[in-house]
Structure 1
Amino acid sequence: MSEFAHLIVMLLIAGGIGVLAVIVSILLGPKKPSASKLMPYESGNDPEGTGRERFPVHFYLVAMLFIVFDIETAFFYPLAVAYQKVGAFAFWEMVTFVILVLVGYFYILKKGVLEWN
């Protein structure tokens, strides 16, 4: 248990700082609402429509693809850092990973997910 004591203390301090910040903000924060302050902000433009509009499914597919390829990049970084220690095994594991990602990439190209119509 003593090996986790530092982690537990750090989490308690971080949580305490977060709770303290919220309490101080509620107690000391300015409370002068106005119409312009309560209006949703959209890059300086007046909002159009409601906030409940539906996005096309295509938007979510592209967002998920971005996450997949971002995670792929996150896997490459540790390999590059520790490549001298892990050797050929990690290289072939990464080749397998890249092949699997490329299979998925060619599949989404064939399905036309990246085409904006």
Structure 2
Amino acid sequence: MREYLVVALTLLAGIALVAAAMGARRVLAPADPSPAKLTTYESGVDPVGSGWEQGSVRYVVFALLYVIFAVDAVYLFPWALVIRTELGLASLVEMAIFIGVLVVALLHVWRRGLLRWW
């Protein structure tokens, strides 16, 4: 039960630190709200319109492709570190299949023209 006590005390200390920081900000920070300060401001452009405008889907496609290939790279690094010592030929074949699927996916995305920025 001592392990649970350590976890509970750490959790309580974290909650206390967050509460103390929020309280210190409330006491020390100046508060002078005005309509100009409360308006939405993003990237130096004043808001125009309702804010519910259609954005380009291409940015989402790039973000998803990045996440897919970044996560796959995260799997490749630990595998590459232990391939010579602990893993055998079966692991090499499995990783070749894995990389092959990634290459096929990348070729498909490239062929459909999703990698063009404009």
TM-score normalized with structure 1 length:
0.70
Q: State the distance in 2 between where 1:85 and 1:14 align.
A: 41
**1:1-117 to 2 correspondences below 5 Å:** 6-34=6-34, 37-39=37-39, 40-42=41-43, 45-47=44-46, 49-50=48-49, 51-88=51-88, 89-117=90-118
What 5-or-longer segments of structure 2 have no aligned partner?
none
Q: State the distance in 1 between where 2:70 and 2:57 align.
A: 20
AA in 1 matched with 2:73: T
AA in 1 matched with 2:104: V
AA in 2 matched with 1:108: V
Q: What is the identity percentage for the equivalent residue pairs of Structure 1 and Structure 2?
A: 23
What 5-or-longer segments of structure 1 have no aligned partner?
none
TM-score normalized with structure 2 length:
0.70
Q: Considering only aligned residues, what root-mean-square deviation do their CA atoms show, in Å? A: 2.9
Return structure 1 stretches of 4+ with deviation > 6 angstroms. none
Change in Cα spacing, 1:52 to 1:20, as seen in structure 2 (3 Å) is farther
SS class of match (1:49): coil
Number of positions where the alignment pairs a residue of Structure 1 with one of Structure 2: 115
AA in 2 matched with 1:30: P
